[in-house]
Amino acid sequence: MALSISKKYLAVCERAEKAVCCVFDMATLKRRKILTSTDYNSKEFVSVNFAPNNEKSMLVTLTAEPDIRVIIWTWDKAKCFTQQQVGGVSGHMSVTQCSFHNQDSSTVLVTGNSTYKFYKISENNILKPTHTSILKKESHISSNYTCHTWTPDGKLLVCTDQGDIMLLEMNGDYKMTIADSPGDGFYIECISTYSKRFIVAGDNGRIIIYEKAEDPKIQYTRSIALPQSEKLDKGEHQELLASIMSSRIRCMALSSTDDCIIFTTENNQIMKVNVNLERPSDDSKYEYVVTPFH
């Protein structure tokens, strides 16, 4: 699923004989368009994203195997605008995410395991990769790119399965690896930006909040890591909470008021943590959104 920046439109992808994406109007909750095509054999989309500067018209999807394609749609007309097969994806290679550049709707990024494709839409509406790998990064940094996001100033953050967080320029060039990255094999499953900060989440039920550093050589520093073990709820759900700490966070969302993070885990729990993102504190503790799921 993907929600547009204005929160007016919701894209929901469905598994079918041919992958399907439905776009809903959030004001009326009515389905606006159905997007599907005979140009691919994939049964599902693994990622979807609205164009931040043109959400009323443009949307990008990424198909799963066997024919992995990045497809840009003029969704208001239910037509494919342009598409490109993601070459070099086979064997241990895979794709997990696609997105439009947050300041340039002619730029699309695709990342995954051994996959980094930085596309530009040419004058004849063809997707051409300007980067097919992250050059100049340190050799020890993993090439399994698990997630990415764009910063408010148009730069790019790319995370790995080994806990590395890389900062790249607007054009996709490698700039640096965040010195305060989690590392130590910490699988970063998801990342989200807000204001001048960003949040990552992944293994062991951990959420880490970063803030902008004053030193340009550092760029970002770790603000707080959650949960603090001594802050865990010691009530009747202690065993399930302990299991969450040994589980991976799969996805997360920030509330519209920026004071609550809601997340789901690998062991099928829906959790929340109330935080003051301007002044993060280790007093924040994990709670169930509704009730534990067994």
Q: In this structure, are residues 166 and 190 in contact, taking their beta carbons and an 8 Å threshold?
A: no
- Most confident listed range (10-24, 88-102, 256-270): 10-24
What pLDDT is attached to residue 257? 85
Task: Compute φ and ψ for 244, nearest 5 degrees.
Answer: -65, -35
Q: What is the pLDDT of residues 103-123, one digit of tens each?
A: 999 999 999 999 999 999 998
Q: How confident is the model at residue 17 (pLDDT cuts 50, 70, 90)?
A: very high
Q: How far apart are CA 224 and CA 201, in angstroms?
A: 12
Q: How confident is the model at residue 292 (pLDDT cuts 50, 70, 90)?
A: low
Residue 237 pLDDT > 60? no
Residue 6 pLDDT > 90? yes
- Positive or negative, the CA dihedral 22, 72, 107, 90 is positive
Q: Can you give the residue ranges of every domain in the chain?
A: 2-230
Q: How confident is the model at residue 216 (pLDDT cuts 50, 70, 90)?
A: confident
For the domain covering 2-230, report its CATH number.
Answer: 2.130.10.10
Residue 191 pLDDT > 90? yes
Question: What average pLDDT does this structure show over 164-191?
Answer: 97
Q: How far apart are CA 51 and CA 88, in angstroms?
A: 26
Contacts 24+ apart (CB under 8 A), 131-134: 131/172, 131/173, 132/88, 134/158, 134/166, 134/168, 134/174
Residue 234 pLDDT > 70? no
Residue 64 pLDDT > 70? yes
Average pLDDT, the chain: 91
pTM listed for this prediction: 0.92
Share of the chain above pLDDT 70, in %: 91
Residue 236 pLDDT > 60? no
Q: What is the pLDDT of residues 126-173, one digit of tens each?
A: 999 999 999 999 999 999 999 999 999 999 999 999 999 999 999 999
What pLDDT is attached to residue 70? 97
Residue 89 pLDDT > 60? no
Residue 231 pLDDT > 60? no
